[in-house]
Structures are given as C-alpha cells and as structure tokens.
C-alpha cells in the first residue's frame, strides 16, 4: 500500500514504544478504540443519550 513492510512497521512500533512507554501505550490504544467505536456509532445513527421527551400516556399520573 505505502511500501511499508514488516521491518518498517517494527521500527515504527519500537520508536512509538520508546516515546510513550509501555504503560502509556495501552491507554493510547484504549482511547483510539473508544474513538473509533464512537465514530461508528455516530455514523450509524445510534445516540448515546436519548434526549427526546416522552409523552405521558397515563392520565392517572397527570397533574392533581
């Protein structure tokens, strides 16, 4: 695709590991996964929070 083989990817991974460290790398991966999941949900139309007001259909629970 971009001319990146296994050796090039390993070198990039080692550089990222040296910059961020092993502990921080897991947090970065987790954050990236959540971001991708959120993007997929927003594209598919699923809302995390439904803010649509619900109509009261039971007249016994009305005012009074």
pLDDT in tens, 8-42: 989 998 998 898 887 888 888 899 999 999 888 88
Question: For residue 31, how many C-alpha atoms fall within 13 Å in the half-sphere facing its CB?
Answer: 5
Dist. CA 42–CA 36, nearest whole Å = 10
What are the b/e assignments for 10-35, b being 16+ CB within 10 Å?
A: eeeeeeeeeeeeeeeeeeeeeeeeee
Query: Which pLDDT value is given to residue 36?
Result: 92
Residue 52's pLDDT band (cuts 50, 70, 90)? confident
More reliable by pLDDT, 59 or 53: 53
pLDDT on residue 54 = 77
pLDDT at 46: 62
pLDDT above 70 for 60? no
């Amino acid at each position: 695709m971009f001319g990146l083989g296994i050796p090039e990817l390993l070198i990039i991974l080692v550089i990222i590991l040296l910059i961020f460290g092993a502990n921080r790398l897991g947090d970065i991966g987790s954050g990236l996964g959540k971001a991708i999941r959120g993007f997929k949900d927003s594209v598919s139309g699923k809302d995390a929070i439904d803010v649509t007001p619900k109509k009261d259909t039971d007249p016994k629970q009305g005012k009074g």
